[in-house]
A = this chain, B = another copy of it.
Amino acid sequence: MGRNAHETECRLKRLHFLALCCLSVIAACRGAMVWHSPCRMSLSGDYTPRAWWKNPTVPMTRFVARLAYDGTHFNGWQFQVKSRTVQLEVERAINSTLAACPDSDLLDKVCIRAVAAGRTDAGVHARGQVIHFDYPAVAAGRFTVQEFETKLNEGLVSDVRLWNVSHAPPPREKNLAVQGDWHAMYNSRSKLYTYRFSTRAVADPLHRNYCCAVPRGEALDLRKLAELTSIFEGKHDYQNFANRLQHKRRMSKRGEEFSTVRHVRSVELVSEAPEEYAIHVLLDGALQRMVRNMVGGLWAVARGDMSEAELRRALDGPLYAKGRSPIRAAPAHGLTLEWVYYDDF
Protein backbone atom coordinates (compact mmCIF):
# COMPACT_ATOMS: atom_id res chain seq x y z
CA MET A 1 0.00 0.00 0.00
CA GLY A 2 1.48 3.36 -0.99
CA ARG A 3 1.85 6.24 1.41
CA ASN A 4 -0.91 8.27 -0.29
CA ALA A 5 -3.39 5.40 -0.09
CA HIS A 6 -2.60 4.95 3.59
CA GLU A 7 -3.11 8.69 4.28
CA THR A 8 -6.46 8.66 2.43
CA GLU A 9 -7.62 5.69 4.47
CA CYS A 10 -6.64 7.43 7.74
CA ARG A 11 -8.42 10.61 6.65
CA LEU A 12 -11.54 8.61 5.79
CA LYS A 13 -11.45 6.90 9.17
CA ARG A 14 -11.16 10.27 10.96
CA LEU A 15 -14.06 11.63 8.92
CA HIS A 16 -16.12 8.52 9.72
CA PHE A 17 -15.40 8.96 13.45
CA LEU A 18 -16.28 12.67 13.31
CA ALA A 19 -19.55 11.94 11.49
CA LEU A 20 -20.48 9.36 14.13
CA CYS A 21 -19.76 11.89 16.93
CA CYS A 22 -21.90 14.54 15.21
CA LEU A 23 -24.78 12.07 14.70
CA SER A 24 -24.63 11.01 18.38
CA VAL A 25 -24.73 14.65 19.53
CA ILE A 26 -27.67 15.41 17.23
CA ALA A 27 -29.51 12.28 18.39
CA ALA A 28 -28.91 13.13 22.05
CA CYS A 29 -30.10 16.72 21.48
CA ARG A 30 -33.26 15.55 19.73
CA GLY A 31 -34.07 13.30 22.66
CA ALA A 32 -33.68 10.06 20.74
CA MET A 33 -31.17 8.77 23.22
CA VAL A 34 -33.16 9.67 26.29
CA TRP A 35 -34.55 6.16 25.99
CA HIS A 36 -31.32 4.79 27.41
CA SER A 37 -31.81 6.79 30.56
CA PRO A 38 -33.57 4.46 32.98
CA CYS A 39 -36.02 7.06 34.25
CA ARG A 40 -37.26 9.53 31.73
CA MET A 41 -40.95 10.10 32.21
CA SER A 42 -42.45 12.93 34.18
CA LEU A 43 -46.20 13.04 34.71
CA SER A 44 -46.70 15.99 32.41
CA GLY A 45 -45.43 13.81 29.60
CA ASP A 46 -42.07 15.45 28.95
CA TYR A 47 -39.08 13.20 28.99
CA THR A 48 -36.58 14.62 31.45
CA PRO A 49 -34.22 12.10 33.03
CA ARG A 50 -34.55 12.20 36.80
CA ALA A 51 -33.61 9.92 39.68
CA TRP A 52 -32.63 6.28 39.33
CA TRP A 53 -35.70 4.15 38.61
CA LYS A 54 -35.28 1.86 41.59
CA ASN A 55 -33.88 3.80 44.46
CA PRO A 56 -32.30 1.27 46.86
CA THR A 57 -33.63 3.26 49.82
CA VAL A 58 -37.26 2.76 48.68
CA PRO A 59 -38.55 -0.78 49.31
CA MET A 60 -40.55 -2.01 46.31
CA THR A 61 -43.24 -4.65 45.75
CA ARG A 62 -43.60 -6.36 42.38
CA PHE A 63 -47.04 -6.31 40.77
CA VAL A 64 -48.29 -8.26 37.80
CA ALA A 65 -51.34 -7.53 35.63
CA ARG A 66 -53.14 -8.51 32.45
CA LEU A 67 -53.30 -5.80 29.83
CA ALA A 68 -55.77 -5.34 26.96
CA TYR A 69 -55.47 -2.66 24.31
CA ASP A 70 -56.85 -1.57 20.98
CA GLY A 71 -53.65 -1.11 18.96
CA THR A 72 -55.30 0.98 16.21
CA HIS A 73 -54.04 4.32 17.42
CA PHE A 74 -50.80 3.11 19.02
CA ASN A 75 -47.32 2.85 17.61
CA GLY A 76 -46.88 -0.52 19.31
CA TRP A 77 -46.02 -1.41 22.89
CA GLN A 78 -42.47 -0.14 23.22
CA PHE A 79 -41.72 3.40 24.40
CA GLN A 80 -40.71 5.82 21.64
CA VAL A 81 -39.89 9.49 21.83
CA LYS A 82 -42.63 11.59 20.17
CA SER A 83 -44.85 8.61 19.43
CA ARG A 84 -47.96 7.32 21.18
CA THR A 85 -47.16 3.89 22.59
CA VAL A 86 -48.93 1.59 25.05
CA GLN A 87 -45.94 1.52 27.40
CA LEU A 88 -46.03 5.31 27.67
CA GLU A 89 -49.74 5.34 28.60
CA VAL A 90 -49.41 2.47 31.09
CA GLU A 91 -46.35 3.97 32.82
CA ARG A 92 -48.00 7.39 32.94
CA ALA A 93 -51.07 5.83 34.65
CA ILE A 94 -48.98 3.85 37.16
CA ASN A 95 -46.76 6.80 38.08
CA SER A 96 -49.71 9.17 38.41
CA THR A 97 -51.12 7.06 41.27
CA LEU A 98 -48.02 8.06 43.29
CA ALA A 99 -49.06 11.71 43.22
CA ALA A 100 -51.92 10.99 45.67
CA CYS A 101 -49.54 9.36 48.16
CA PRO A 102 -48.84 11.46 51.32
CA ASP A 103 -45.14 10.56 51.03
CA SER A 104 -45.12 13.04 48.17
CA ASP A 105 -41.40 12.94 47.42
CA LEU A 106 -41.88 9.37 46.20
CA LEU A 107 -42.46 10.91 42.79
CA ASP A 108 -38.94 12.32 42.87
CA LYS A 109 -37.41 9.15 44.26
CA VAL A 110 -38.84 6.57 41.91
CA CYS A 111 -40.09 6.36 38.36
CA ILE A 112 -41.91 3.13 37.71
CA ARG A 113 -41.40 1.24 34.49
CA ALA A 114 -43.54 -1.58 33.14
CA VAL A 115 -42.10 -4.70 31.51
CA ALA A 116 -44.33 -6.60 29.07
CA ALA A 117 -44.29 -10.30 28.16
CA GLY A 118 -43.88 -9.36 24.50
CA ARG A 119 -43.52 -6.22 22.41
CA THR A 120 -46.37 -5.90 19.93
CA ASP A 121 -45.95 -3.97 16.65
CA ALA A 122 -47.80 -0.81 15.67
CA GLY A 123 -51.46 -1.63 15.01
CA VAL A 124 -51.40 -5.02 16.76
CA HIS A 125 -53.98 -5.52 19.52
CA ALA A 126 -53.83 -7.39 22.80
CA ARG A 127 -56.33 -9.00 25.13
CA GLY A 128 -54.21 -11.09 27.47
CA GLN A 129 -50.82 -9.29 27.41
CA VAL A 130 -49.03 -9.42 30.78
CA ILE A 131 -46.88 -6.78 32.46
CA HIS A 132 -44.94 -6.56 35.71
CA PHE A 133 -43.79 -3.46 37.55
CA ASP A 134 -42.20 -2.56 40.89
CA TYR A 135 -44.26 -0.25 43.09
CA PRO A 136 -43.18 1.45 46.35
CA ALA A 137 -44.33 -0.81 49.20
CA VAL A 138 -45.39 2.18 51.33
CA ALA A 139 -47.77 3.38 48.61
CA ALA A 140 -49.01 -0.14 47.83
CA GLY A 141 -49.99 -0.69 51.46
CA ARG A 142 -52.56 2.12 51.28
CA PHE A 143 -55.12 0.23 49.19
CA THR A 144 -56.19 -3.28 48.22
CA VAL A 145 -55.22 -4.67 44.81
CA GLN A 146 -58.87 -4.26 43.76
CA GLU A 147 -58.79 -0.54 44.61
CA PHE A 148 -55.39 -0.26 42.91
CA GLU A 149 -56.83 -1.76 39.71
CA THR A 150 -59.69 0.75 39.75
CA LYS A 151 -57.28 3.66 40.32
CA LEU A 152 -55.03 2.53 37.48
CA ASN A 153 -57.93 2.19 35.04
CA GLU A 154 -59.29 5.60 36.03
CA GLY A 155 -55.96 7.10 35.02
CA LEU A 156 -55.74 5.16 31.76
CA VAL A 157 -56.91 6.17 28.29
CA SER A 158 -60.04 4.34 27.05
CA ASP A 159 -58.21 2.13 24.54
CA VAL A 160 -56.09 0.47 27.25
CA ARG A 161 -57.36 -1.51 30.24
CA LEU A 162 -55.52 -3.26 33.06
CA TRP A 163 -57.17 -6.17 34.82
CA ASN A 164 -56.35 -8.98 37.20
CA VAL A 165 -53.83 -6.70 38.95
CA SER A 166 -52.15 -8.74 41.70
CA HIS A 167 -48.93 -9.25 43.63
CA ALA A 168 -46.28 -11.17 41.71
CA PRO A 169 -46.40 -14.90 42.45
CA PRO A 170 -43.88 -16.06 45.09
CA PRO A 171 -40.78 -17.91 43.89
CA ARG A 172 -41.46 -21.62 43.68
CA GLU A 173 -38.02 -22.80 44.68
CA LYS A 174 -36.90 -21.26 47.94
CA ASN A 175 -33.22 -21.23 47.14
CA LEU A 176 -33.71 -19.56 43.83
CA ALA A 177 -34.72 -15.99 44.36
CA VAL A 178 -36.67 -13.37 46.17
CA GLN A 179 -40.23 -12.42 45.19
CA GLY A 180 -39.03 -9.61 42.96
CA ASP A 181 -37.58 -12.01 40.48
CA TRP A 182 -40.87 -12.91 38.79
CA HIS A 183 -40.55 -11.60 35.25
CA ALA A 184 -43.37 -11.11 32.71
CA MET A 185 -41.15 -11.99 29.75
CA TYR A 186 -38.73 -14.63 31.09
CA ASN A 187 -41.34 -16.56 33.13
CA SER A 188 -43.82 -16.88 30.22
CA ARG A 189 -44.38 -20.42 29.00
CA SER A 190 -46.20 -19.74 25.72
CA LYS A 191 -48.25 -17.16 23.85
CA LEU A 192 -51.44 -17.39 21.85
CA TYR A 193 -51.73 -15.04 18.87
CA THR A 194 -54.86 -14.88 16.73
CA TYR A 195 -54.93 -13.49 13.20
CA ARG A 196 -58.44 -12.63 12.03
CA PHE A 197 -59.37 -12.18 8.35
CA SER A 198 -62.48 -12.00 6.26
CA THR A 199 -63.06 -13.22 2.70
CA ARG A 200 -66.32 -11.31 2.24
CA ALA A 201 -66.74 -9.35 -0.97
CA VAL A 202 -67.72 -6.37 1.19
CA ALA A 203 -66.08 -6.25 4.62
CA ASP A 204 -68.00 -5.42 7.79
CA PRO A 205 -67.10 -1.79 8.70
CA LEU A 206 -67.61 -2.58 12.41
CA HIS A 207 -64.77 -5.12 12.26
CA ARG A 208 -62.46 -3.11 10.00
CA ASN A 209 -59.88 -2.37 12.71
CA TYR A 210 -59.72 -5.92 14.08
CA CYS A 211 -60.16 -8.19 11.09
CA CYS A 212 -58.17 -7.97 7.85
CA ALA A 213 -60.31 -7.86 4.71
CA VAL A 214 -58.66 -9.99 2.03
CA PRO A 215 -59.31 -7.93 -1.08
CA ARG A 216 -61.84 -9.28 -3.56
CA GLY A 217 -60.26 -11.28 -6.38
CA GLU A 218 -57.61 -12.69 -4.10
CA ALA A 219 -59.65 -15.85 -3.76
CA LEU A 220 -58.05 -18.00 -1.09
CA ASP A 221 -58.10 -21.79 -1.24
CA LEU A 222 -59.12 -22.23 2.39
CA ARG A 223 -58.84 -26.02 2.32
CA LYS A 224 -55.23 -25.73 1.21
CA LEU A 225 -54.63 -23.07 3.87
CA ALA A 226 -56.03 -25.34 6.60
CA GLU A 227 -53.75 -28.19 5.42
CA LEU A 228 -50.68 -25.95 5.22
CA THR A 229 -50.84 -24.76 8.82
CA SER A 230 -49.27 -28.03 10.03
CA ILE A 231 -45.93 -27.30 8.31
CA PHE A 232 -45.14 -24.70 10.98
CA GLU A 233 -45.68 -27.00 13.93
CA GLY A 234 -42.62 -28.07 15.88
CA LYS A 235 -39.15 -26.52 16.17
CA HIS A 236 -38.05 -24.64 13.05
CA ASP A 237 -35.58 -21.98 12.00
CA TYR A 238 -37.71 -18.90 11.31
CA GLN A 239 -34.94 -16.59 10.09
CA ASN A 240 -36.83 -15.88 6.83
CA PHE A 241 -39.94 -14.95 8.83
CA ALA A 242 -38.32 -12.28 11.00
CA ASN A 243 -37.81 -8.57 10.42
CA ARG A 244 -34.68 -6.60 11.36
CA LEU A 245 -32.76 -9.79 11.94
CA GLN A 246 -29.29 -8.38 11.22
CA HIS A 247 -29.88 -5.68 13.81
CA LYS A 248 -30.92 -8.25 16.38
CA ARG A 249 -27.88 -10.40 15.64
CA ARG A 250 -25.54 -7.45 16.15
CA MET A 251 -27.28 -6.61 19.39
CA SER A 252 -27.02 -10.08 20.87
CA LYS A 253 -25.38 -9.18 24.15
CA ARG A 254 -24.18 -12.52 25.37
CA GLY A 255 -21.74 -12.83 22.51
CA GLU A 256 -23.29 -16.11 21.44
CA GLU A 257 -25.16 -16.49 18.14
CA PHE A 258 -28.74 -15.09 18.24
CA SER A 259 -30.93 -18.10 17.64
CA THR A 260 -33.81 -17.86 15.16
CA VAL A 261 -35.12 -21.33 16.04
CA ARG A 262 -38.57 -21.11 17.59
CA HIS A 263 -41.00 -23.73 18.87
CA VAL A 264 -44.52 -23.42 17.45
CA ARG A 265 -46.89 -25.64 19.38
CA SER A 266 -49.93 -25.41 17.11
CA VAL A 267 -51.37 -23.46 14.17
CA GLU A 268 -55.07 -23.81 13.51
CA LEU A 269 -57.57 -22.27 11.08
CA VAL A 270 -61.09 -21.86 12.47
CA SER A 271 -64.25 -20.22 11.14
CA GLU A 272 -65.61 -17.63 13.59
CA ALA A 273 -68.55 -16.34 11.52
CA PRO A 274 -69.73 -16.74 7.92
CA GLU A 275 -66.71 -15.85 5.76
CA GLU A 276 -64.73 -14.72 8.80
CA TYR A 277 -61.74 -16.80 9.88
CA ALA A 278 -59.12 -16.87 12.59
CA ILE A 279 -55.67 -18.47 12.58
CA HIS A 280 -54.68 -19.36 16.15
CA VAL A 281 -50.91 -19.61 16.64
CA LEU A 282 -49.64 -21.03 19.95
CA LEU A 283 -45.87 -20.66 20.35
CA ASP A 284 -43.19 -20.44 23.01
CA GLY A 285 -41.75 -17.20 21.69
CA ALA A 286 -41.93 -15.17 18.48
CA LEU A 287 -39.41 -13.26 16.41
CA GLN A 288 -40.34 -9.76 15.25
CA ARG A 289 -43.32 -9.93 12.82
CA MET A 290 -43.03 -13.72 12.74
CA VAL A 291 -46.78 -14.43 13.08
CA ARG A 292 -47.70 -11.85 10.44
CA ASN A 293 -45.09 -13.30 8.08
CA MET A 294 -46.41 -16.82 8.71
CA VAL A 295 -49.95 -15.68 7.83
CA GLY A 296 -48.62 -13.79 4.78
CA GLY A 297 -46.84 -16.96 3.60
CA LEU A 298 -49.95 -19.11 4.12
CA TRP A 299 -52.06 -16.61 2.16
CA ALA A 300 -49.54 -16.46 -0.70
CA VAL A 301 -49.67 -20.24 -1.16
CA ALA A 302 -53.46 -20.43 -0.71
CA ARG A 303 -53.80 -17.68 -3.33
CA GLY A 304 -51.43 -19.40 -5.77
CA ASP A 305 -48.76 -16.65 -5.73
CA MET A 306 -46.18 -18.96 -4.19
CA SER A 307 -45.67 -22.72 -4.31
CA GLU A 308 -45.87 -24.91 -1.25
CA ALA A 309 -42.27 -26.00 -1.91
CA GLU A 310 -41.16 -22.36 -1.81
CA LEU A 311 -42.80 -21.87 1.58
CA ARG A 312 -41.08 -25.01 2.87
CA ARG A 313 -37.76 -23.75 1.47
CA ALA A 314 -38.21 -20.45 3.32
CA LEU A 315 -38.79 -22.38 6.55
CA ASP A 316 -35.52 -23.82 7.87
CA GLY A 317 -33.76 -22.63 4.69
CA PRO A 318 -30.81 -20.24 4.26
CA LEU A 319 -31.48 -16.54 4.82
CA TYR A 320 -32.79 -14.69 1.77
CA ALA A 321 -30.95 -11.54 0.77
CA LYS A 322 -32.70 -8.29 1.74
CA GLY A 323 -35.67 -7.69 -0.56
CA ARG A 324 -35.42 -11.18 -2.12
CA SER A 325 -37.68 -12.94 0.38
CA PRO A 326 -40.99 -14.08 -1.15
CA ILE A 327 -42.68 -13.68 2.25
CA ARG A 328 -44.82 -10.56 2.77
CA ALA A 329 -46.24 -9.80 6.23
CA ALA A 330 -50.03 -9.71 6.63
CA PRO A 331 -51.37 -6.28 7.80
CA ALA A 332 -50.93 -5.57 11.51
CA HIS A 333 -54.56 -4.77 12.40
CA GLY A 334 -55.69 -8.42 12.02
CA LEU A 335 -53.38 -9.63 14.79
CA THR A 336 -54.24 -9.88 18.49
CA LEU A 337 -52.06 -11.20 21.31
CA GLU A 338 -54.83 -13.22 22.95
CA TRP A 339 -53.04 -14.73 25.93
CA VAL A 340 -49.69 -15.23 27.62
CA TYR A 341 -49.45 -18.46 29.59
CA TYR A 342 -47.51 -18.94 32.84
CA ASP A 343 -47.18 -21.77 35.27
CA ASP A 344 -48.12 -19.55 38.19
CA PHE A 345 -50.24 -16.66 36.83
Contact = CB atoms under 8 A, between A and B. Distances in A.
Contacts of A153: 202
Nearest to A125: B206
Interface in A90-133: 125, 127
Interface stretch (A30-38, A77-85, A159-167): A159-167
Given A158-B208, A210-B206, A163 B201 contact: yes
Contacts of A216: 150
A221 to B, nearest CB: 22
A68 interface: yes
A266 to B, nearest CB: 23
Nearest to A152: B202
A203 interface: yes
Interface string A134-153: 00000000000000011001
Give me the 8 closest cross-chain CB pairs, A-B, nearest first: A163-B202, A70-B205, A161-B205, A159-B205, A161-B202, A70-B206, A68-B205, A69-B205
A183 B127 CA distance: 44
A9 interface: no
A161 B204 contact: yes
How many copies the complex holds: the figure is 2
Contacts of A69: 205
Contacts of A202: 68, 149, 153, 161-163
Given A150-B216, A216-B150, A204 B68 contact: yes
Given A150-B216, A216-B150, A127 B70 contact: no
B162 A205 contact: no
A259 to B, nearest CB: 33
Taking residues whose C-beta sits less than 8 angstroms from the other chain, chain A's interface range is: 20 to 34
A309 to B, nearest CB: 35
A116 B160 CA distance: 36
Contacts of A127: 204, 206
Interface string A40-83: 00000000000000000000000000001110000000000000
Interface in A152-189: 153, 158-163
A183 B204 CA distance: 25
A227 to B, nearest CB: 30
A68 B158 contact: no
B159 A208 contact: yes
Interface in A250-305: none
A58 to B, nearest CB: 28
Nearest to A162: B202
14 contacts: A68-B202, A68-B204, A68-B205, A68-B206, A70-B205, A125-B206, A127-B206, A149-B202, A158-B208, A159-B205, A161-B204, A161-B205, A206-B210, A206-B336
Nearest to A217: B150
A205 B150 contact: no
Contacts of A203: 161
Nearest to A336: B206
A198 to B, nearest CB: 11
